[in-house]
Amino acid sequence: MGSPIKDKNSQVSFLKQRLNMFLDVLEAIEPEETELEDIDRLIDMIDDLETKCREFNNREE
């Protein structure tokens, strides 16, 4: 694993990159062919983003 991201600009850049990855996956999904596992992976991605946001907020305190 890499070292923790402490610089605020790097944190924002990381979150933007992860959000863009999520959006790319979301756009690529065909609603008629989407399975429950695909939805679970999307939810996991959002959960990971939320966790990172909390981690970054806690580092600022």
Q: What is the pLDDT of residues 17-49, one digit of tens each?
A: 999 999 999 999 999 999 999 999 999 999 999
Q: Judge whether 39 and 48 are in contact, CB under 8 Å.
A: no
Measured CA to CA, the distance from residue 18 to residue 45 in angstroms comes to: 8
Other CB atoms within a 10 A radius of the CB of residue 11 amount to 19
Q: What distances in angstroms separate CA 30 from CA 26, 39, 41, one per listed residue?
A: 9, 11, 15
Q: What is the pLDDT of residue 46?
A: 96
